[in-house]
Amino acid sequence: MTVNPADSPVFGTLFGTDEMRGIFGDRALVQKMLEVEAALARAEARLGIVPAAAAQAIAAAAAVERIDLTALGESTRHVGYPVVGLTKALARAAGGDAARYVHWGATTQDILDTALVLQIREGLAAVERDLRALAEALAEKADAHRAAVMAGRTHLQHALPVTFGYKCAVWLAPLLDHLLRLAELRRRVLVVQFGGAVGTLASLGDKGRAVTEALAGELGLAAPVAPWHVSRERPVETAAFLALVCGTLAKLATDVVLLMQSEIAEVLEPHATGRGGSSTMPQKRNPIASEYILAAARGVHALLPLLFGAMAQDQERATGPWQSEQLALPQIFVLTAGALAHGVTLARGMTVDAARMRANLAATDGLIMAEAFMMALAEKVGRDAAHHLVEKASNAARAAGRPLVETLGADPDVARHLDGAALARLADPAHYLGEALAVVDRVLAVSRERLQSRV
């Protein structure tokens, strides 16, 4: 039973992925908690705090298959946390003298927070894989359509010519920055939490720091300079990073939705029979992937304030804010994974109609080239005078349904400075692309560098 579409057997594939749900599901969390308990026992055995045989028994018993999840659920409802029931079950499974050494020197939040970090590590690996796949697909499109001239639009109106390769490069560039952010994020976030009751590890005497570092080493995590159980920057920064990724995906999806409008029809999402169809209109090909990217992004951005609000942790153990993270962070990962999956499918399979782009480019009878005419005239008569001449000609051309180049050529104030050959050259959108092609080349160069490395 579920009320969250991201976890639903009906809607789940639209809002998330089974992989990410598996990473943050109950079984995965229990297994990660057991891995932390096993790593703690091994670390303490190496330091002579617990017997080596006890650590071996604890590690051997630390498998989710050994845990009765129904009983653990009942314990959690009663206690308020799963760790008490988990450690009792682990102690029973380890048996003998090993049972007394389970959870030695730790507290509930140490296990839950460190297990969360292990889940985050897996989740970020999946995110990075899909970020790279999306970036590779957009890089291919940017290269293939580098010089495919189309209308650039501002305020949803024709502005200046661009190329579709340029548009793809603009979508791609932030993804490459996200790969850098992710590398930096890992260094700050993949950090063990181990502090005992209030963070001082008093129960371990003078070996607290040694155990922390040994536990971090066992789990492949960094050791913090101070416990972070009431300093929640790490999970919040993780969520903020995912929110940035979703914002970038939302930009891509918004553009595709607009480009798929029947009146524009320059780009189409990948299509299969029935995909994006309507129950009543057989002709429809709705932008389904883009719609769910936008829905997921809005969901992630709506959940983010819950995590920021949870940073106000009271004293040495929070009364509520910490628990509220569980409502947001797993869902943020799931929704981001769903958005990325749609993005990869969209980028790999989009249909690009270059002929339609050229037709739309010509739809305003050359008005899109007004700036080019103005700047050429400005060299002769000054910018203000040139702006006035081209604006007047644009209004006349629009009213008469006449090409702008003809209207300008018929104006003696223009003709005395620009002859027919000059006006014809200025009317060609391919001659007024500015940095568009250079932007594509620069982004593709960065793309090759970052996608080949493991930044």
Catalytic positions are 278, 317
- Look at residues 305, 349, 175 and name the one whose alpha carbon lies nearest to residue 246: 175
Q: How many residues does the chain have?
A: 455
Backbone dihedral angles phi then psi of residue 150, each to the nearest 5 degrees: -150, 170
CA 158 to chain centre: 30
Contact residues for 242 (Cβ-Cβ < 8 A; gap 6+): 127, 300, 332, 333, 336
Give, in order, the Cα–Cα distances in Å from 436 to each of 40, 145, 171, 347, 389.
55, 12, 13, 20, 27
Q: Do 15 and 292 meet the contact criterion of CB atoms below 8 Å apart? A: yes
- Look at residues 408, 314, 343, 406 and name the one whose alpha carbon lies nearest to residue 133: 343
